[in-house]
Amino acid sequence: MKSLLRAVALGAALLLSACASLGQDAAPAQSRLTVLVGIDGFRADYLDKGDSPTLDALAASGARGAMRPSFPTLTFPNHYTLITGKRPDRNGIVNNVMEDAQFPGVTFKMSNAQAVRDGRWWDQALPLWVSAETQGYKAGAMFWPGSEAEIAGVRPSRWMVFNQAMPSNDRVDTLLAWLDDPKGPELRLATLYFDVVDTQGHHYGPGSPEARAAVAEV
């Protein structure tokens, strides 16, 4: 859980910074940051097994609730639902692999970078980074389905082409570098995406040592 722990530490530092000013003036709006972390393939029953102490501690000291996933329970449909607030049948991303009569001969899938970066597949619903940017707030997307595409003519101020080989710690370091960059935009919204749990779960099974090690990694 080292990667997530560092992200949580970042959030805690921001919270302490805000709390320090409560006795005087409220924290200025521009200092507030929301970070949405997605851990692909992290089953609910992975919690409380001793492999995810950081998440367990967050659940114990903060909030924890049941949820009903969107169907189909696949990476692209569910992550786009989370970032848009609309179910797959309303956001247009109904599968990881799909075809559309409007785009003859084109198959939308994770391995088709050109299709994934085509905003026409994503524009039935607006992700949070588009809403933020159009309202004058800067957003950064550290790997999130849809973040490589220009949607409604808008991209997040900071984003990267997805690289599955990029280690979890490097993803966190990249986001922290964006936040620390004095010459860069001041981000108000950021997403952080981990896929290692999903990958190892598919390759070796959800209860495998490899999957448990992936849970511990993030």
Any idea of the CA torsion for 129, 61, 69, 93, to the nearest 10 degrees?
A: 10
pLDDT tens, per residue, the chain with 218 residues: 455 545 544 443 333 333 333 334 444 455 689 999 999 999 988 988 889 988 888 888 888 888 888 999 999 999 999 999 999 999 999 999 999 999 999 999 999 999 999 999 999 999 999 999 999 999 999 999 999 999 999 999 999 999 999 999 999 999 999 999 999 999 999 999 999 999 999 999 998 999 999 999 88
Q: What does the CA dihedral 100, 140, 5, 200 come to, rounded to 10 degrees?
A: 20
- pTM of the entire predicted model: 0.84
Q: Indicate the angle between helix axes 53-61 and 2-20, nearest 10 degrees.
A: 30
CA-to-CA distance for 41 and 92, rounded, in angstroms?
A: 21
Q: Which of 34, 54, 73, 75 is catalytic?
A: 75
**Alpha-carbon torsion (17, 191, 75, 52), positive or negative:** negative
Asked if 154 and 134 count as a contact pair (C-beta separation under 8 A), the reply is yes
The domains located in the chain, with CATH, are 31-217 (3.40.720.10)
Look at the chain and count its residues: 218
- Do residues 215 and 61 touch, judged by C-beta distance below 8 A? no
Q: Position 121: which residue type? A: W
CA distance 156 to 126: 12
Q: Is 84 a catalytic residue?
A: no
Question: What backbone torsions phi and psi does residue 194 show, to the nearest 5 degrees?
Answer: -120, 135
Question: What is the residue whose two structure tokens read 């970078």?
Answer: 113
